[in-house]
Amino acid sequence: MATALTADAVRKISGNINVWDYPIKAATQIYRNSLVAVEDGYLISATDATTNKFVGRAMEGRTAVATGDKSVGVATFGGTIIEAYFTGGLTLNKSAYFLADMYIVNNDTVGPKSVASSNLVGQLTDIIDATNKKVRVLLSISKAS
């Protein structure tokens, strides 16, 4: 499953969860449990674009009309483990990808460095479902300013 979220979703988050509030960019829909990034200081849905920086997983869904008129709490870093979908490999096996860096593909999917992304999410810690390519990733970067 490498498709982006188009509605709020149920995803597990565990570990030492830190939550930061981020103002949302104008005309932006953030889905609950989507992977999110900051662009020009405002929250957007995460993509593999180099113009944004991954910050975590949205704790709630919201839509902003004007820049900064709404904000969303984001689970971010400091030992937080998230579930996501994986793409970029023919076979998903623990020996090949355990602790490998995972990068943003879209707002619900991560992949290895071979994907066209420079937005680091963290390291793969576990494979939940190899058939559906569902994985756990330890978030490993600091809060974006």
Domain containing residue 127: 1-145
In this prediction, residue 42 carries a pLDDT of: 96
pTM: 0.85
SS3 content of the chain, % helix, strand, coil (to 5): 5, 45, 50
Q: How confident is the model at residue 92 (pLDDT cuts 50, 70, 90)?
A: low
Token pair of 138, please?
């330890």
How many structural domains does the chain have?
1
Who has greater pLDDT, 90 or 93?
93
Q: Which residues, including other chains, have CB under 8 Å from residue 77's CB and lie 6 or more apart?
A: 18, 56, 139, 140, 141, 142, 143
Is residue 143 over pLDDT 80? Answer: no
d(CA 104, CA 55): 11
Query: Considering only 21-35, 63-77, 88-102, which range has the smallest mean pLDDT?
Result: 88-102
Domain CATH code at residue 143: 2.40.300
Q: Look at the block and give the residue holding tokens 């483990």.
A: 81
**What pLDDT digit, counting tens, does each position of 18-43 carry?**
899 999 999 999 999 999 999 999 99
Token pair of 62, please?
């919201």
- On the CB side of 46, CA atoms within 13 Å amount to 29
Residue 18: CB atoms within 10 Å? 15
